[in-house]
Amino acid sequence: MDSKVKEFNKATFIEDDPICIPLRYSKLQDVELTAFWSSMLAWGQRKTIINKSTELFGLMGGSPHEFIVNHKEKDRIRFAEFKHRTFQYTDTLYFLEFFQWYYRKHETLEDLFLVEESMKETLIRFNEYFFQLDSAPRRTQKHIATPARKSTCKRLNMFLRWMVRTGKVDLGLWKRIPTSALMMPLDVHVERVARKLGLLKRKQRDWLAVEELTAHLRKMDPKDPVKYDFALFGIGVIGEL
């Protein structure tokens, strides 16, 4: 497993992965904004995810944080034609509204993900916070998962891996969240390989499966279990098993 981490955790991984989107920026708020939003759009083909994220942030003039904080409500009409699969204009409008409300009061999204008890409780708390505005559409809630609905929270866990881990791929900009607290982003590739290696026995793909897999990986590296995401995902994608 360690050798597979070294094999796949390389800069060449970036080009075809959605993490290339936040890596285009240097300002902290731009990075975390684009990392969060592009990870929420991360389902389907990776090439399409990258293209749609590029389109989205292009509509913000290349300066997402500045646009988010300073734009007027009338400026939101430019997003009317933007959509990705089931992510529609209504969802975009709420994301814009929430982030404007948040960034006018706060410096960083990291504050929302600080782990007090467990990552499970952190993600539940974040979901409740994100949808606290009176204008929050019910339909938009499906785009941000929560362990409260037994979801694997794959995209949130991937986003946190990007922001917390330091390496040849991950960004490592958030320093107040320990890598030991991160949970595995459980997708179909990771699940298939983990089952064949005996690292995952639970039949359902849900939050309990994420906890089971991550617990096994912590036995190999208690401080940084999620580094094995590269190994499991890479083996799955190239069909080595």
Cβ–Cβ under 8 Å, residues 48 and 78: no
The SS3 call for residue 69 is: helix
Check residue 24 and give its pLDDT: 96
Model confidence at 236: pLDDT above 90: no
The candidate with the shortest Cα–Cα distance to 20, out of 184, 232, 162, is 162
On average, the pLDDT of the chain sits at 95
The SS3 call for residue 80 is: coil
Find the mean pLDDT for residues 102-113. 98
For tokens 């990291």, the residue is: 110
Model confidence at 34: pLDDT above 90: yes
Q: What percent of the chain has pLDDT over 70?
A: 99
Q: How confident is the model at residue 15 (pLDDT cuts 50, 70, 90)?
A: confident
Q: In which region does residue 198 sit, left (phi positive, over 0), alpha (psi from -120 to 50) or beta (all else)?
A: left
Model confidence at 240: pLDDT above 80: no
Q: How confident is the model at residue 241 (pLDDT cuts 50, 70, 90)?
A: low
Q: What percent of the chain has pLDDT over 90?
A: 88
pTM for this prediction: 0.95
Two structure tokens written together for 59:
């509509």
pLDDT digits (tens, 9 = 90+) for 127-143: 999 999 999 999 999 99
Q: Which domain holds residue 83?
A: 2-238
Element (H, E) at 55: helix 46-58
Two structure tokens written together for 188:
């179909």
Check residue 44 and give its pLDDT: 85
Number of separate domains in the chain: 1
